[in-house]
Structure 1
Amino acid sequence: MNIENNQERRIENICNEVESLLKKKNHDYGNSFSIQFEKYGILSALIRMDDKMRRLENLLNGNKAQVEESIEDTLQDLVGYGTLALVELRKQKEGLNG
């Protein structure tokens, strides 16, 4: 198997993992991102992503986490928030509400 195909498979696997996690979290949180985005706009995405970036910085600086969340977990959340923001922006563009 060549390196390019292996890389493509890894990307696909990660996207599938994030998709599954995002759907579960979105259900568990009661679609809170969409509700917050409707109220505050794209700024709500920026704030949530900034929180995750700060967490990532702390983890990379060797600070011991008190809550069980790994670097991979944090990166998955960043991808998730980016995805949710894109969903909301496209809904706005299409004139959809919900």
Structure 2
Amino acid sequence: MKIGDKVRTKKSVFKNNEYNDKEFTLLDIEEDAYHFVRGELDFLVHKTALDEFLEIGYEPKHAKEPNPVAGLFCAMANIDEKVLVHRSVCNKLNDIYEQKNEKYGDSFGISVKKYGLISALTRISDKFNRFEQLVLEGSNGTDDETLLDTCLDTANYFIMTAMELQERGK
């Protein structure tokens, strides 16, 4: 199974009838589960329980071949799929945020509290300069930091800045 694959849920398997006998899209593959979505509805299925919840051999009417880029994105044909891609990117941002906080602690929040918003501006500016350099050179970056990594890090810096502003009540 790949991100973007379409599946159909079995009839009468969920207590909430909105989930039964409907087509869902695979949004994310977690360590031991698959995350499926359809509009505002979503559910997780443990990898060992797929056949209990999904119709086996289901062929969607308008299947699209996924087009993964760095494991994040699926083929985009309409707004609904872009919403799925956006959700997938936001999930990736959260994973990165969690990993970096485990590694570095809350160094960003501490810097903002100590030096003010100028410390946030400095980090965002550094990332923007890196983005600008890579784009103008026509480069995808290095194994250490790709253009996509730079975009995701920059987005996280803006989100962390928003979190600091919310904490301050601004």
User: Is the TM value for this pair above 0.5?
Assistant: yes
User: Could you say which residue in structure 2 is the equivalent of 1:84?
Assistant: 160
Give the fraction of aligned pairs with identical amino acids, expressed as a percent.
30
1:74 partnered with 2:145: no
Can you give the 5+ residue segments of structure 1 that lack an aligned partner in the other structure? none
Q: Which has the higher strand share?
A: 2
Deviation at residue 36 of structure 1 after TM alignment: 0.2
| Residues matched between the structures, number | 94
Letter paired with 1:27: E
Q: How does 1:1-98 map to 2 (within 5 A)?
A: 3-62=78-137, 65=141, 68-93=144-169
Rounded to whole Å, the distance in 2 between the matches of 1:63 and 1:36 is 33
CA–CA separation in structure 2 for the residues paired with 1:89 and 1:14: 23
- Structure with the larger helix share: 1
TM-score w.r.t. structure 1 length? 0.86
Q: CA RMSD in A?
A: 2.0
Higher relative contact order (CA 8 A, sep 6+): 1
C-alpha separation between the residues in 2 aligned to 1:66 and 1:72? 11
Determine which structure has more spread, i.e. the larger CA radius of gyration.
Answer: 2
TM-score, normalised with respect to structure 2: 0.51
